[in-house]
Amino acid sequence: MTMTTRRVALISGAGRGIGFAIAAELLKAGWAVSVGSRTAPAGLGAVGSETLHWSAYDARDAASETAWVDAAVAYFGRIDALVHNAGILSETPVIEASEAEVDDLLQVNVKSPLRITQRAWPHLKNSDRAKVVVLASLSGKRVRAPQSSLYSLSKAAVLNLTHGIRHCGEADGIRATAICPGFVATDMAAKCDEEIMDQLTRPEDVAVIVRTVLELPNTASVAEVPINWRVESEY
């Protein structure tokens, strides 16, 4: 396929939840989207169309990251944005975590976004307004309980990865933003009390914020966007 005139975003883990909502929002706004996920997305439109591309991606398989980036460039001819959404949850306290669980959490939540960004970097440099958006978490900014401590460790790491990308991309006009939600009404919030479920931030809310960040001019560099469904009593 020849180079599209649309702006192109690669979104990981867009088969459901926040990633799906972001993909839907960007497609509605006229973007072209390449989804990296284990299975082809359903409900976004026709995969293989002018605006929607899919590549098999597994955060535990570095070869799939390279294959995804290369396939997206071959399909659309350009990359203007990365949205690192794929991630996994842990409810293990840091003091009880096995080395294997720590390694796996960092592999999925931190190392995979880093490697994809490195692979896509030359293409981002060719864009006039490149963006890297990372779905971090408020858990990357504070630890609220023992069972969230290992997850917070991984999200603090990816939050600082985002800041590192911001500095590395400054000279080439590549902006990076960490989106830091609290509880969002997805599968990960399934254990929340039923009475608060209808109050939680919606995936569509996060998607609008991500699109806004992606469409900002380079004169508005936003480092972090914290989002929550309530006013926290303490940080």
Contacts with 213 (C-beta within 8 Å, 6 or more apart), sequence order: 131, 133, 177, 179, 222, 225
Which of 57, 75, 151, 235 is flagged as catalytic? 151
In the residue annotation, 75 being an active-site residue is answered as no
CB 134 within 8 A of CB 179: yes
Question: What are the catalytic residues?
Answer: 151
